[in-house]
Amino acid sequence: MSIQKTDSSQCVLASGNKGKLAELSHALAGHNIELISQSEFNVSEAIEDAPTFIENALIKARHASQVTGLSALADDSGLVVPVLNGEPGIFSARYAMQPNTTRKPTDADNINKLLEQLQSHSDDKARAAYFVCALVYLRHADDPEPLISTGLWHGRILHTPEGENGFGYDPVFYCPKNKMASASMSKELKSSISHRAIALEALNKQLTDRSQ
């Protein structure tokens, strides 16, 4: 999955997450885009106070572009578990955050809370879940036509973590089609079927259409 060439070879990724940078950079390999983490420019984290993935991605992209003057790519993603009324949702990265503290929870903290919340749901159907990825690409901070794409990756939540790869909820997200946890997949396999892969494919088409 690859994004087509743009007017600028440099694009700021509106995230300091090394896992996202690696995954998205892999998708951009061989094209005229150098994806650079916003941490390289000392960009502060944007205040994500919107109720949806798309709106938060737009907030992050616009903020990074305003600070750096570059085009920006923002990813807002998370895990949705319908039986938990959509949790962790937009709070996926800070699901286990404790009140009155600034310490961000670790991936293990978030996974442990999710498994605790699902203890009373043993049936595979009840443990259905899906990853959501919303991508926003801005040519500049005041771009009146941001490109927006989304991707959904369906699966279910395991009872115990499996695999050593990936990040976030990958160890407990099981993909029935491939019969393995996301964290057991190779980077190549995951990058071809994940929610980000689906969103990137849609974004790629939009960029291609725009260039014609």
Catalytic residues, by residue number, are 76
Q: Are strands 71-80 and 10-13 parallel, antiparallel or unpaired?
A: parallel
Q: Are 205 and 147 in contact (CB under 8 A)?
A: no
Place of tokens 């014609």: 212
Distant-in-sequence, close-in-space partners of 105: CB < 8 Å, separation ≥ 6? 94, 95, 96, 97, 98, 113
| Helical packing angle, 18-28 and 195-211, nearest 10° | 50
Place of tokens 């699902």: 118
The CA distance from 112 to 108, in Å, is: 6
Beta bridge partners of 155: 129
The CA distance from 183 to 190, in Å, is: 9
Label residue 20 exposed, middle or buried (CB < 10 Å: 0-12, 13-18, 19+). buried
The CA distance from 194 to 133, in Å, is: 9
Q: Are 27 and 200 in contact (CB under 8 A)?
A: yes
